[in-house]
Amino acid sequence: MKTGKTLFDLTGKVCLVTGANRGLGRAIAIGLAEAGGDVVVACRDPVGGAAVAREIEARGRRALAVPCDIGRWPDIDALVSTIYEHFGRCDVLVNNAGIAHDLLPIANVDEAMFDRFFQVNTKGPMHLASLVAQRMAQGGGGSIVNIVTFGAVKAGGFLSMYCASKAAMRSLSRVMAEEWAPQGIRVNAIAPGPFRTDMLEGLAEGTDGFMEYTIQTTVLKRIAEPEEIVGPVVFLASEASSFVTGQTLAVCGGGLSL
Ligand SMILES: NC(=O)c1ccc[n+]([C@@H]2O[C@H](COP(=O)([O-])OP(=O)(O)OC[C@H]3O[C@@H](n4cnc5c(N)ncnc54)[C@H](OP(=O)(O)O)[C@@H]3O)[C@@H](O)[C@H]2O)c1
């Protein structure tokens, strides 16, 4: 059992992060590397993915950029095969890739939009977690962290597909935790509040007053910087959280207590 500073040490661990080319995913990938992990940068953007892989290698860790559209199961199958061919193991999965939409009434949601949100925010991450968990089980266990949203816990008006698809993923996280505990796999969700990324800027561009509104949903009265997600992810990825599973950690500036 590790103690003290080594509790958060990920040396020798192989960590897979989806959507790691930008935003929270990039911060998480670099943060896991700084905690000692080798990192698989899974993303659709080969240029951005290669750049993040270079940033990780510059920190003395191994990195591998692998193309993957999380909405396509064949891509996910290929991603997992590539990781095991290259590293022979995967100890940490961070299901980070996700999509949001501008505020819109439920009446404007069509079937294609419904399917797209569940495909990217729920089905793909579930399939990836399932494939990785089967391999983790053979290797003695691991940790899975699913990035959902504050809105998965406290759904907000006009974000129906985003909140519902992420709430489903939060629910699946709880089920996964129970199913896979006997194999030594812990599964937790993180529910971020507002973080300064392209996603939040996009929502703000589409809606007057959105940034001020979202700041007011927090107790700390500010937007977080992407690097502020790293501590909670490293905690859940590492032995520091060895007795934590099936939980949703709200990283939202106190928003849920409002
Ligand atoms: N920022 C916030 O305030 C906030 C709050 C709550 C939850 N979150 C969650 O945090 C996660 C990261 O969000 P972010 O703020 O960093 O958003 P972002 O800046 O928009 O980045 C989203 C990431 O997901 C990737 N992605 C989207 N669709 C994909 C697909 N089909 N296949 C593979 N990758 C895909 C994007 O890749 P491309 O570059 O190829 O598009 C990008 O890397 C998301 O799950 C989001 O829902 C964010």
pLDDT of 257 reads: 54
Residues in the chain: 258
Q: Which protein residue's CA is at the shortest distance from atom 11 of ligand 1? A: 96
CA dihedral for 216, 217, 221, 227, sign (positive or negative): negative
**Ligand 1 — pocket residues by CB below 6 A?**
18-19, 21-25, 43-45, 68-71, 96-100, 120, 147, 149-150, 192, 194-195, 197-200
- All structural domains of the chain: 4-195+226-251 (3.40.50.720)
Q: Which residues are catalytic?
A: 162
Write down the pLDDT at residue 107.
Answer: 98
Residue 258: its pLDDT value, please?
Answer: 43
Sorted by sequence, the CB contacts under 8 Å of residue 6 that are 6+ apart come out as none
- Identify the three-state secondary structure at position 105: coil
pLDDT of residue 3: 77
The atom number, within ligand 1, closest to the CA of 100 reads 47
List helix spans (H) across 139-194: 150-153, 160-180
**What was the pLDDT predicted at 78?**
98
**Mean pLDDT (10-residue bins), the chain, 258 residues:** 87 98 98 98 98 98 98 98 98 98 96 98 99 97 98 92 98 98 98 97 91 94 98 98 98 79
Q: Look up the pTM and report it.
A: 0.98
Determine the longest span between alpha carbons in the chain, in angstroms. Answer: 53
Q: Which of 197, 207, 218, 256 to mutate to test the pocket of ligand 1 (most atoms within 8 A of CB)?
A: 197
